[in-house]
Structure 1
Amino acid sequence: MEFDQTRRVSSKKQVVLTFERDEMKQGNMLVGKLITGKNMNIPTIVGMIKKGWQVDKELEIIELDRNQLLFLFRFSEANDYKRILKGRSWSILGHLLSIQSWDEGMVLKDVNFDLSPFWVQFHGLPLENFNCSNAKILGDTVGETMMIGWE
């Protein structure tokens, strides 16, 4: 099955691009950037991701930009995709791997890798203060609370 996507290249030209929907495996792709100031070995990064993520089925990792350490992750199983996205944040050799969903029609330059969700734990709370309201209050002190662990 094919579909056309028209993009305006300039004010005078239009280009029609054709994609194979099956090849794109929509809904099962992530884009990621390793946030580091160091030179990193690409095969080492790829090997650590595959080992750490332990996907049930095939995971294809495509290097998009070696200098910026940008990757596209294509999952053959939706369950693997969902687990990896939900399990953020991910670390490779102590460096943040910022990942985002990749959806049809996205442009790589528009993906924001500046923000990444983190799991945060708070210890030493009195038991009577251990509830969802207070967890949200505490979570909001360090960023935007996206999910509370026991919900």
Structure 2
Amino acid sequence: MEEITNQCAGLKLLVREGNEVDLAMTVRKNGCVLVGNFCTKRRVNLESVARVLKTVWRTEENFEVYDMGDNKIIFHFSLKEDLDKVLLLSPWSFDKYLLILHQLSTEEAVTKVKFNNASFWVQIHGLPTMCQTKEAGVVIGGTLGKVEKVDVDAKGFRLGGYMRIRVSMDITVPLCRGRLVHLRGPSPQ
């Protein structure tokens, strides 16, 4: 193994192979692209997906759908507002299978996107009314994943039976059944 490593270390590009190619001028500025992945091993019918999602998403302008194989799909939107609306209203499902969406940046390749995270609205029940604050939502939601939004009023409170938190969670690990929350601070010594 060490011999192979030493041989590979000595490999170098020829002068004509080492020329750099600058793609800065060719990058599309309109980054209205979502990549989607269906969480199923069963083959999803792309025509059905496109037809149903065009009806359900109710975008202002039409969007194009491209099949990438392995239940991965690219959605190209004409308007950034349509893309933002679709992301805001996610998670989406099709035929009972979760559709994980990822907004593609200009320097990302579709083949390198990891579909490990999905955003969900989580309800927090049983909190005392005066603890239903944005800060409490961020602390509790932070134990689940990356907190994207806490559903509170302009004053930072959510007065009601429960609190809603939007959290991006790792879907490769099982969901937690609950969390123990205590109101007392650290014990004085």
Q: Which residue of 2 aligns with 1:76?
A: 78
Match for 2:54 among 46, 50, 55? 50
1:3-50 alpha-carbon deviations (Å, 9 max, x no partner): xxxxxxx944368597866xx562211111111122322222222221
Match for 1:30 among 28, 34, 37? 34
Q: Are 2:63 and 1:59 aligned?
A: yes
Alignment-mate amino acid for residue 37 of structure 1? K
Aligned length: 138
What RMSD over aligned residues (CA atoms) do the two structures have, in Å? 2.4
1:83-122 alpha-carbon deviations (Å, 9 max, x no partner): 1122222111221111111122321221111111111122
Q: Using the TM superposition, give the Cα deviation of residue 51 of structure 1 relative to its aligned residue in structure 2, in angstroms.
A: 1.8
* TM-score for the superposition, normalised by structure 1: 0.77
CA distance in 1, matches of 2:113, 2:92: 18
Alignment-mate amino acid for residue 48 of structure 1? V
Contact in 2 for aligned 1:59/1:73 (Cα 8 Å): yes
Q: Which residue of 2 aligns with 1:104?
A: 106
Q: Which residue of 1 aligns with 2:170?
A: none
Structure 2 unaligned segments of length 5 or more: list them. Answer: 1-11, 154-189
Match for 1:39 among 18, 30, 43? 43
Contact in 2 for aligned 1:35/1:97 (Cα 8 Å): yes
Contact in 2 for aligned 1:25/1:76 (Cα 8 Å): no
1:57-92 alpha-carbon deviations (Å, 9 max, x no partner): 111111122xx1111111111110111122222111
Deviates more, 1:88-97 or 1:73-82: 88-97
Change (3 A) 1:92 1:25: farther
Q: Which residue of 2 aligns with 1:4?
A: none
Q: Which residue of 1 aligns with 2:125?
A: 123
CA distance in 1, matches of 2:89, 2:31: 17
CA distance in 2, matches of 1:104, 1:141: 31
Change (3 A) 1:34 1:122: same
CA distance in 1, matches of 2:137, 2:106: 35
SS of residue in 1 equivalent to 2:102: strand
Alignment-mate amino acid for residue 34 of structure 2? L
Change (3 A) 1:50 1:149: same
Greater RCO (Cα-Cα under 8 Å, separation 6 or more): 1
Structure 1 unaligned segments of length 5 or more: list them. Answer: 1-9
CA distance in 2, matches of 1:122, 1:52: 28
